[in-house]
Each structure stands twice: as C-alpha cells, then as structure tokens.
Amino acid sequence: MIEVEVPLKLTLFGEHAVVYGEPAIAMAINEKMKIKIVPYHKMILKSNSLSIKGIKVDLEEMKLESEETSKVLSYALSTINFFEKEYGTRKNALIEIESPVDPSVGLGTSAAVIVGIVGGYSRYLGYELTREEIAKISHKIELTVQGLGSRMDTYTTSLGGLIYFPKGGGYEKIRREIRITAGYIRRIATTAEILKRVKSLKEKNPDLFNDLISSIGKTVNKAKIAIEKGDEEEIGELMYVNHGLLMSLGVTLPPIDNLVSTAKILGLKGCKISGGGGGGSTICLEDERARILLSTIGAKIIDSRISQEGVMIKEINQ
C-alpha cells in the first residue's frame, strides 16, 4: 500500500498575476490531503469530500454518470490517464482521496489531488520521482485540465515551506515564518471558471489589465522584502493593497470585501483573499479578532501553520 500526504497551501501574495508571469508568494500549511493506493482488480477512485458526497466511480469503462461528476473528477482522472499516456503503463488500483477541507475553496485542493496521485501512483508503478519532478508533472497536468494556470500551487504543495515565485520562472524558498489566521467559505465558481473570467477582462481592456497585474507584481516584491525583514506592519499594509487590486480584477466577493475593510478599520495588520477568489479563503496576519470576523461570515477556520514538509510518500507492506 502507498500512503501519500500533501500539504494544502495559502497564497500570501500574487494570485492571478502569477498566471501572467508576475511574481507570487505562497505557503504550504498543516492541512493535509491524504491519498491511499492499494492493489485492486479494477481501477477505482473513491473520495470522501467531493460535493457529490461519497463518490465512487468505476474507472474501468471510464464512464462517468454526469457532467458534474466528470468536472469534479477531472483533475484526478487526468492524472491517472497521464501515466497511461506518458509511461504506457496502467496498473489497476483502489485510489482513495481524503481531504480535510471542502473542494474548491482556494486552498489548492486541485493541485494537492494531482500532486498526491502523481507521487503515489508513480511510486505504485515502481518509479521514484523527486518532489521537483512531481511538481513539474503536476503543473503540466493542472494546466491541461484548467487550460490556464501557474506553477505556484503544484510547486508549493509538492515542495512545502514558504516560497517566492519570481517573474519569469523558477522558485526561491524564503527562510522565514509568518503566522496567519485563515478560514474559508464556499465559492460561487471553481478556479478554472474564475481564471477564464479574468482572461476575458484582459481581452476587453488589455492596458488597464496589464497595469493592475504589474501593480500586483510590485506589491509581491515589496512583500518579499518586508517578510525577509520581519516587518509585519508593511506585510499587512501590502495584503490590503493586494486585496484591493484583486477586487479591481473582479475576483473577490462582497462578504469578504466587507470583512477585509472592517478588519482594516479595526486596526488588524492585514487581510486579503487567498487563492482563486469568488469566495473561498481569506487570510489575515495572526489576530484573535480575525477569527471572530471570519466566524461572522460562517468561515471554517483552518490550521494555517506552515508545513515545511512537501508531499510525503510512504510504502507500507501489508
């Protein structure tokens, strides 16, 4: 049996802009997606937390009951198919996914599902991939499924820690700790859908869009310096700026906008949405008042402590 644990992630700065080549900063957290892979006479995928509760699909015929099912399973299915296509092998297995959070809430669950199956299923097939190789393959798969997207989520969930993604590619670990209060509410759209909406804004108003995106990029680079200096006042101020720019991109949601502006009036150091937006996750620099504000919008508070560990793969002889 193969057991995999994948950290989920918070986007501290730069979501959406990173898709267009700007920098970003993200952090792996202690909320872990668990994936178990055992030998089985058929290819079966089970998942505990999808919106279609207790889903179980027989992948032999690759028949999916509905449009909704195929959409919801697209990341997992594409990952399994990837190995058949690229490695020319397919070994039947029971793949069980257990997520600590709801799907599609801005915490990188799509990336974690891909990273977990890439890491676990490749080991099940007898390959020993490095975390970097897992990240690279996973980014390719997420991009294929979504049509749009950056390396940020798949690299953060594969590698762990606090990571700066510079303009133009690559990544750099930031050796600092940053304490966050975070929670999530349900979203009105998936990240893939929101990415398409942002792209249409770019097509409608390219110069305005580019100004917004490059302003987010500048905010990210200032935030990197502030994080390295441990300057919480500056980090927090830049979180509010980043949230305002994301609001201009149209990816925030009124309850979260109200929360962020209330937080600023109350004197909390910094808050912003995290991830694709349209609801989902909100992060604040650690503050007890942030938990209270998050609970007023019905947000589920998560374990946002940093996970220095990336994807962990264990082989257990039964």
Ligand X SMILES: C[C@@](O)(CCO)CC(=O)[O-]
> Which residues are known catalytic residues?
153
Interface residues with ligand ATP (CB under 6 A)?
47, 49-50, 72, 74-76, 97, 99, 103-111, 113, 153, 190-191, 275-276, 280
Beta-strand runs (E) in the chain: 2-13, 24-39, 44-47, 55-58, 93-98, 162-165, 172-173, 180-187, 271-274, 279-285, 300-301, 312-315
Shortest CA distance to 15 belongs to which of 219, 203, 206? 219
Binding to ligand X (CB under 6 A): which residues in 67-96? none
**Residue 1 is encoded by which pair of tokens?**
């049996």
Between 95 and 114, CB nearer to ligand X: 114
Q: At what angle do helices 254-266 and 232-248 cross, to 10 degrees?
A: 150
Q: Is beta strand 312-315 parallel, antiparallel or unpaired with respect to 279-285?
A: unpaired
Task: State the number of binding residues for ligand X (CB under 6 A).
Answer: 13
Give the full edge-to-edge strand order of the sheet including 279-285. Answer: 271-274, 279-285, 180-187, 300-301
Matching residue, tokens 């993200």: 26
What's the min distance (Å) between Cβ of 237 and ligand ATP? 24
If the CB atoms of residues 110 and 156 are measured against Mg ion, the closer one turns out to be 110
Interface pick for ligand X out of 7, 217, 270, 275 (rule CB under 6 A): 275
Task: Locate 227 and state its tokens.
Answer: 């994080």
* 267's tokens: 């004197």
Which residues have C-beta within 8 Å of that of residue 68, sequence separation ≥ 6?
51, 52
Q: Which of 2, 6, 12, 18 binds ligand X (CB under 6 A)?
A: 18
Binding map of Mg ion across residues 107-126, x = CB under 5 A, - = no contact: ---x----------------
Per CB under 6 A, does 27 bind ligand X?
A: no
* Residue 147-166 contact track with ligand X, rule CB under 6 A, x = bound: --xx-xx-------------
Minimal distance in Å, beta carbon 307 to ligand X?
A: 16
Q: Point out which residues bind Mg ion (CB under 5 A).
A: 110, 191
In the complex, the residues that contact ligand X under the rule CB under 6 A are 11, 15-16, 18-19, 108, 149-150, 152-153, 191, 275-276
